[in-house]
Structure 1
Amino acid sequence: MNLDELTARLHAIRDQNDWRQFHSPKNLAMAASVEMAELVEIFQWLSEDQSRQLPAEKLAHAGQEVGDIVLYLLLLCAELGLDMDAVVRAKLADSERRFT
């Protein structure tokens, strides 16, 4: 996954639709949160086993929501001047140090 390419494609969509005015860090964080809630809703009331064995339709829906979340987070990183690859790698290294 080339994050720079994905971000450039997102920015092209944003610019074509004149959405930059809405893409403040606050709004992007809130939009990612809304998408996360939509992902959580897929699993609401399922047992642990059911949540691991989603029917194809629900699995596809979960994938769409994950995609939405990741794309909003890419836009948020761009707005904040954060390198997503770097912050994810740093967090993973921190977790490896703390938990392994």
Structure 2
Amino acid sequence: ESTMYRDYAISDRLFHWQSQSTTSETSITGQRYIHQCERKCTVLLFVRENKQLHGIGAPYYYLGPATFVESTGSHPINIVWELQYPMPARLCMATKTLVVSE
């Protein structure tokens, strides 16, 4: 069984991320994402290019802290995060089909 998310770099500082399909804008988790700044929650973004590499779990790359910009939809929520640091160009180019961990 595979879970596919629509996660990708918009630019080297903006990242589109999709929540789990069970998360709504009114859920506790959805509200935590949307009101991240007011609630002083820190979101740390990790990404990986593939689920597996050479038959084992692929490594995650730490992109750093991210700040909520906007959201659309529900079940799942589509969120745009602003990265504190620019994403490396290689990862930015590869993010057309990234798998992202919550």
TM-score range, shorter chain: under 0.3
What TM-score results when the alignment is normalised by the length of structure 2? Answer: 0.24
Q: Which structure is higher in helix share?
A: 1
Asked which structure has the greater CA Rg, the reply is: 1
